[in-house]
Structure 1
Amino acid sequence: MKTFTLLLLFITGMFLGKSQQLVYKPINPAFGGDTFNYQWLLSSANAQNQFDSKDSYSDLLGNLNSIDSFSQSLNRQILSELSRKLFQDQFGDGESIQPGNYLFGSLYLQVTNTSQGLLINILDTGTGDQSEIVIPK
């Protein structure tokens, strides 16, 4: 009789037991989640952000005045023209660069012919930075 009652309780428990369906609900509002989660996600992302915003490129440009910006733009254009002429001389038919000393704003260029090829020394007189470029023959 005891086994019969246990079996009966087990069978009725199977029918009375409830289950639920597993449903995925997104958290991110961009993927259909609740829009009230936006502030929580944003504050969580900002708390985990390891980058410093004062090093950003836009802040660096904001600190330049118009004269500094113009001189940097001019230096970039001169270096671009010089590199274009060098490549054109080396790989195409263009005007050759003559050996000599050139001064462009704060850049001092010394172009010489060596046994290795064309040697270009670039010195930034404002900062003291120096570069050396060798274009092989």
Structure 2
Amino acid sequence: MKKLATLLLLGAAGLCAHSAQAQDFVYEPKNPAFGGGNTFNYSWLQASATAQNTTEEPVKATPAVDPLAQFSASLNQQVLSQLTSRLLSSQFGQGAIKPGSYNLGGYQVQVSQGTTGVVIQVTDTGSGNQTTVTIPKGL
């Protein structure tokens, strides 16, 4: 009897069962920047990202510019530029610069004739840093 009940139960389950239907899953990208999503999603995605952005850009403080310090720096730069021009022209044939010591703002420039060419030693009187430049003869 148990076998008969089991068979009847299986038969009834088989009659009630429906055929299963399947569906294909299709991937559709949302973002148009990543492989062909809908272009109408772009503005919505941009607005959503902007709304979620809580990072604030740091405010850069602009330093106060002292006009006198700027003028002094400009003047020193121009004097050093003129000195460089005269040194180069003396080596290449226009005018001559005399060896000696020059004080230019915060710099002391020592010009001397060396065995290999004109030697220029620039010393920053504020910090004591030195730079030596040798312009060789016959360039």
What TM-score does the superposition give when structure 2 sets the normalisation length?
Answer: 0.61
Q: Measure, in 1, the Cα distance between the counterparts of 2:97 and 2:47.
A: 63
SS of the aligned residue for 1:95 comes to coil
Which residue in the other structure is 2:26 paired with?
A: 19
SS of the aligned residue for 1:43 comes to coil
Q: Measure, in 1, the Cα distance between the counterparts of 2:54 and 2:80.
A: 43
Name the structure where helix makes up a greater proportion of residues.
1
SS of the aligned residue for 1:84 comes to helix
Given the superposition, is the C-alpha separation of residues 18 and 84 from structure 1 closer, same or farther in structure 2, using an over 3 Å criterion?
same
Which residue in the other structure is 1:3 paired with?
A: none
Given the superposition, is the C-alpha separation of residues 40 and 98 from structure 1 closer, same or farther in structure 2, using an over 3 Å criterion?
farther
Which residue in the other structure is 2:125 paired with?
A: 125
Structure 2 unaligned blocks of 5 or more: 1-18, 34-41
Q: CA RMSD in A?
A: 3.5
Which residue in the other structure is 1:83 paired with?
A: 84
Q: Measure, in 1, the Cα distance between the counterparts of 2:24 and 2:88.
A: 81
The answer to whether 1:34 aligns with 2:46 is: yes
- Whose Rg is larger? 2
Given the superposition, is the C-alpha separation of residues 102 and 37 from structure 1 closer, same or farther in structure 2, using an over 3 Å criterion?
same
Shift of 1:130: 1.7
What is the count of residue pairs matched by the alignment? 114
Shift of 1:36: 4.6
Q: Measure, in 2, the Cα distance between the counterparts of 1:39 and 1:117.
A: 67
Which residue in the other structure is 2:103 paired with?
A: 103
Shift of 1:40: 4.4
**Letter of the aligned partner of 2:96 in structure 1?**
S
Shift of 1:111: 0.4
SS of the aligned residue for 1:120 comes to strand
What TM-score does the superposition give when structure 1 sets the normalisation length?
Answer: 0.62
Shift of 1:23: 3.6
- Aligned residue runs from structure 1 range 47-86, under 5 A: 53=60, 58-59=62-63, 62=64, 64-86=65-87
SS of the aligned residue for 1:126 comes to coil
Shift of 1:65: 2.1
Given the superposition, is the C-alpha separation of residues 34 and 84 from structure 1 closer, same or farther in structure 2, using an over 3 Å criterion?
same
Structure 1 unaligned blocks of 5 or more: 1-7
SS of the aligned residue for 1:94 comes to coil
Shift of 1:119: 0.6
Shift of 1:42: 7.0
How far does the alpha carbon of each residue in 1:68-125 deviate from its partner, in whole angstroms, 9 at most, with x for none? 22111111111122222233333x4322222111112222111000102111111222
